[in-house]
Amino acid sequence: MSSEKGMLIVLSGPSGVGKGTVRKAILEDSAIQFKYSVSMTTRQKRMGEQDGVDYFFRTKEQFETEIAQGGMLEYAKYVDNYYGTPLRYVQQTLDAGTDVFLEIEVNGAMQVRQKMPDGVFIFLTPPDLASLRDRIINRGSEDQSTIDKRMDKARQEIKMMSNYDYAVVNDQVSNAVQRIEQIVRSEHLRVPRVIDSYKKMIGDN
Protein backbone atom coordinates (compact mmCIF):
# COMPACT_ATOMS: atom_id res chain seq x y z
CA MET A 1 0.00 0.00 0.00
CA SER A 2 1.38 3.38 -0.94
CA SER A 3 0.75 4.84 2.52
CA GLU A 4 3.00 2.27 4.16
CA LYS A 5 5.89 2.30 1.73
CA GLY A 6 8.69 4.77 2.15
CA MET A 7 9.05 7.70 -0.21
CA LEU A 8 11.97 8.01 -2.60
CA ILE A 9 13.54 11.47 -2.71
CA VAL A 10 16.00 12.16 -5.51
CA LEU A 11 18.29 15.18 -5.34
CA SER A 12 20.29 16.20 -8.41
CA GLY A 13 22.10 19.29 -9.50
CA PRO A 14 25.36 20.34 -11.09
CA SER A 15 28.70 19.37 -9.61
CA GLY A 16 29.74 21.78 -6.87
CA VAL A 17 26.28 23.23 -6.26
CA GLY A 18 26.34 21.81 -2.74
CA LYS A 19 24.39 18.54 -3.02
CA GLY A 20 26.70 16.67 -0.66
CA THR A 21 26.73 19.54 1.84
CA VAL A 22 22.94 19.90 1.79
CA ARG A 23 22.40 16.14 1.95
CA LYS A 24 24.62 15.82 5.04
CA ALA A 25 22.84 18.74 6.73
CA ILE A 26 19.44 17.15 6.03
CA LEU A 27 20.50 13.77 7.37
CA GLU A 28 21.88 15.38 10.52
CA ASP A 29 18.65 17.29 11.07
CA SER A 30 16.41 15.09 13.17
CA ALA A 31 13.28 16.95 12.00
CA ILE A 32 12.97 14.54 9.09
CA GLN A 33 14.00 10.91 8.95
CA PHE A 34 15.37 9.23 5.88
CA LYS A 35 18.08 6.82 4.91
CA TYR A 36 20.78 7.84 2.51
CA SER A 37 21.55 5.33 -0.20
CA VAL A 38 25.34 5.10 -0.51
CA SER A 39 26.33 5.04 -4.18
CA MET A 40 28.91 2.90 -5.89
CA THR A 41 31.65 4.58 -7.93
CA THR A 42 34.88 3.86 -9.79
CA ARG A 43 36.34 7.29 -9.07
CA GLN A 44 39.34 7.82 -6.79
CA LYS A 45 38.66 8.29 -3.11
CA ARG A 46 39.16 11.91 -2.02
CA MET A 47 40.93 12.90 1.21
CA GLY A 48 38.73 12.05 4.17
CA GLU A 49 36.29 9.84 2.25
CA GLN A 50 35.47 6.38 3.59
CA ASP A 51 34.48 3.26 1.70
CA GLY A 52 30.89 2.32 2.53
CA VAL A 53 30.12 5.75 3.97
CA ASP A 54 30.71 8.28 1.19
CA TYR A 55 30.71 5.71 -1.61
CA PHE A 56 31.37 2.07 -2.21
CA PHE A 57 34.67 2.49 -4.07
CA ARG A 58 35.01 -0.26 -6.67
CA THR A 59 37.10 -1.09 -9.75
CA LYS A 60 35.65 -0.74 -13.23
CA GLU A 61 35.50 -4.55 -13.49
CA GLN A 62 33.64 -4.90 -10.19
CA PHE A 63 31.19 -2.19 -11.23
CA GLU A 64 30.53 -3.81 -14.59
CA THR A 65 29.92 -7.17 -12.92
CA GLU A 66 27.34 -5.51 -10.66
CA ILE A 67 25.58 -4.01 -13.72
CA ALA A 68 25.59 -7.38 -15.52
CA GLN A 69 24.03 -9.06 -12.48
CA GLY A 70 21.19 -6.54 -12.40
CA GLY A 71 22.31 -5.11 -9.08
CA MET A 72 21.99 -1.43 -9.99
CA LEU A 73 18.79 0.65 -9.83
CA GLU A 74 20.53 3.11 -12.17
CA TYR A 75 24.02 4.03 -13.19
CA ALA A 76 25.76 6.61 -15.35
CA LYS A 77 29.20 7.53 -16.60
CA TYR A 78 30.15 10.93 -15.27
CA VAL A 79 33.46 12.57 -16.25
CA ASP A 80 35.15 9.22 -17.05
CA ASN A 81 33.85 7.26 -14.06
CA TYR A 82 30.87 5.08 -13.26
CA TYR A 83 28.43 6.10 -10.53
CA GLY A 84 25.37 4.10 -9.58
CA THR A 85 22.76 3.22 -6.99
CA PRO A 86 22.71 -0.34 -5.63
CA LEU A 87 19.15 -1.61 -6.01
CA ARG A 88 18.74 -3.90 -3.01
CA TYR A 89 19.21 -1.31 -0.25
CA VAL A 90 16.71 1.07 -1.86
CA GLN A 91 14.08 -1.64 -2.29
CA GLN A 92 14.47 -3.07 1.21
CA THR A 93 14.38 0.33 2.89
CA LEU A 94 11.31 1.53 0.98
CA ASP A 95 9.56 -1.77 1.66
CA ALA A 96 10.28 -1.31 5.37
CA GLY A 97 8.38 2.00 5.22
CA THR A 98 11.39 4.31 5.47
CA ASP A 99 12.08 7.19 3.09
CA VAL A 100 15.22 6.90 0.98
CA PHE A 101 17.33 9.80 -0.20
CA LEU A 102 19.40 9.56 -3.40
CA GLU A 103 21.93 12.18 -4.42
CA ILE A 104 22.69 11.45 -8.07
CA GLU A 105 23.38 13.16 -11.40
CA VAL A 106 20.69 13.85 -13.98
CA ASN A 107 21.01 10.84 -16.30
CA GLY A 108 20.71 8.45 -13.39
CA ALA A 109 17.80 10.44 -11.99
CA MET A 110 15.93 10.05 -15.29
CA GLN A 111 16.44 6.27 -15.16
CA VAL A 112 14.99 6.27 -11.64
CA ARG A 113 12.08 8.42 -12.80
CA GLN A 114 11.19 5.73 -15.36
CA LYS A 115 11.42 2.89 -12.85
CA MET A 116 9.98 4.66 -9.81
CA PRO A 117 7.66 7.44 -11.01
CA ASP A 118 6.26 7.93 -7.49
CA GLY A 119 9.57 9.42 -6.38
CA VAL A 120 10.01 13.11 -5.65
CA PHE A 121 12.59 14.68 -7.95
CA ILE A 122 14.34 17.81 -6.68
CA PHE A 123 16.88 19.88 -8.59
CA LEU A 124 19.36 21.91 -6.55
CA THR A 125 20.51 25.07 -8.36
CA PRO A 126 23.27 27.58 -7.71
CA PRO A 127 22.32 31.26 -7.31
CA ASP A 128 24.42 31.82 -10.51
CA LEU A 129 27.24 30.18 -12.51
CA ALA A 130 29.98 32.36 -11.01
CA SER A 131 29.21 31.12 -7.51
CA LEU A 132 29.09 27.56 -8.83
CA ARG A 133 32.63 27.91 -10.20
CA ASP A 134 33.81 29.48 -6.92
CA ARG A 135 32.40 26.57 -4.95
CA ILE A 136 34.14 23.99 -7.14
CA ILE A 137 37.44 25.89 -6.88
CA ASN A 138 37.10 26.39 -3.12
CA ARG A 139 36.52 22.71 -2.56
CA GLY A 140 39.99 22.19 -4.05
CA SER A 141 39.40 18.59 -5.08
CA GLU A 142 39.69 19.04 -8.86
CA ASP A 143 42.44 20.27 -11.18
CA GLN A 144 41.85 23.02 -13.76
CA SER A 145 40.88 20.78 -16.69
CA THR A 146 38.42 18.84 -14.54
CA ILE A 147 36.91 22.12 -13.32
CA ASP A 148 36.36 23.22 -16.93
CA LYS A 149 34.80 19.87 -17.82
CA ARG A 150 32.52 20.09 -14.81
CA MET A 151 31.44 23.65 -15.68
CA ASP A 152 30.55 22.55 -19.26
CA LYS A 153 28.63 19.66 -17.81
CA ALA A 154 26.90 21.97 -15.31
CA ARG A 155 25.42 24.09 -18.10
CA GLN A 156 24.00 20.96 -19.77
CA GLU A 157 22.71 19.67 -16.45
CA ILE A 158 20.87 22.88 -15.60
CA LYS A 159 18.95 22.46 -18.88
CA MET A 160 17.61 19.18 -17.47
CA MET A 161 15.83 20.98 -14.64
CA SER A 162 12.59 20.84 -16.64
CA ASN A 163 12.41 17.08 -15.92
CA TYR A 164 12.21 17.62 -12.15
CA ASP A 165 9.29 18.31 -9.82
CA TYR A 166 10.96 21.01 -7.74
CA ALA A 167 13.82 23.51 -8.07
CA VAL A 168 15.59 24.53 -4.88
CA VAL A 169 18.17 27.34 -4.82
CA ASN A 170 21.16 26.62 -2.62
CA ASP A 171 21.93 30.21 -1.68
CA GLN A 172 22.50 29.23 1.95
CA VAL A 173 22.69 25.65 3.14
CA SER A 174 20.16 26.18 5.92
CA ASN A 175 17.66 27.69 3.44
CA ALA A 176 18.07 24.81 1.01
CA VAL A 177 17.60 22.29 3.83
CA GLN A 178 14.41 24.00 4.97
CA ARG A 179 13.03 24.12 1.43
CA ILE A 180 13.69 20.42 0.86
CA GLU A 181 12.15 19.47 4.20
CA GLN A 182 9.09 21.52 3.36
CA ILE A 183 8.75 19.70 0.02
CA VAL A 184 9.08 16.30 1.70
CA ARG A 185 6.46 17.16 4.33
CA SER A 186 4.02 18.35 1.67
CA GLU A 187 4.62 15.30 -0.50
CA HIS A 188 3.76 13.08 2.45
CA LEU A 189 0.33 14.70 2.57
CA ARG A 190 -0.53 14.12 -1.08
CA VAL A 191 -3.81 12.25 -1.39
CA PRO A 192 -2.47 9.24 -3.38
CA ARG A 193 -0.01 8.60 -0.53
CA VAL A 194 -2.53 8.79 2.30
CA ILE A 195 -5.73 7.54 0.71
CA ASP A 196 -5.27 3.90 1.76
CA SER A 197 -5.33 4.74 5.46
CA TYR A 198 -8.55 6.73 4.96
CA LYS A 199 -10.09 3.86 3.05
CA LYS A 200 -9.36 1.66 6.04
CA MET A 201 -10.94 4.23 8.36
CA ILE A 202 -14.19 4.41 6.44
CA GLY A 203 -14.22 0.76 5.47
CA ASP A 204 -13.93 1.28 1.74
CA ASN A 205 -11.47 -1.19 0.24
Ligand X SMILES: Nc1nc2c(ncn2[C@@H]2O[C@H](COP(=O)(O)OP(=O)(O)O)[C@@H](O)[C@H]2O)c(=O)[nH]1
Binding-residue total with ligand X (CB under 6 A): 16
CA distances from 147 to 14, 26, 41, 61, 154 (A): 12, 27, 19, 27, 10
* 192 annotated ligand binder: no
Least distance in angstroms from the C-beta of 131 to ligand ADP? 7
Please name which of 46, 90, 84, 91 lies closest in space to residue 64, comparing C-alpha atoms: 84
What, of ligand ADP, ligand X, none, does residue 105 touch, CB below 5 to 8 Å by kind?
Answer: ligand X
Least distance in angstroms from the C-beta of 56 to ligand X? 10
Choosing from 113, 135, 188, 193, the residue that interacts with ligand ADP (CB under 6 A) is 135
CA distances from 3 to 90, 115, 192, 198 (A): 17, 19, 8, 10
Phi, psi of 55 (to 5 degrees): -155, 165
* 120 annotated ligand binder: no
Starting at the edge strand found earlier in the chain, the sheet holding 39-41 runs 55-57, 39-41, 81-86, 72-78
Binding to ligand X (CB under 6 A) within 108-167 occurs at 108
Binding to ligand X (CB under 6 A) within 26-45 occurs at 39, 43
Least distance in angstroms from the C-beta of 31 to ligand ADP? 19
Choosing from 6, 16, 119, 126, the residue that interacts with ligand X (CB under 6 A) is 16
Contact by Cβ (8 Å): 135, 18: yes
Least distance in angstroms from the C-beta of 61 to ligand X? 18
- For position 21 contacting ligand ADP by CB under 6 A, the verdict is yes
What, of ligand X, ligand ADP, none, does residue 74 touch, CB below 5 to 8 Å by kind?
Answer: ligand X
Nearer to ligand ADP, 21 or 146 (CB): 21
Beta pairing class for 81-86 and 39-41:
antiparallel
Interface positions with ligand ADP (CB under 6 A): 13, 15-21, 135, 138-139, 170-173
Which residues are annotated binding-site positions for ATP?
Answer: 13-20
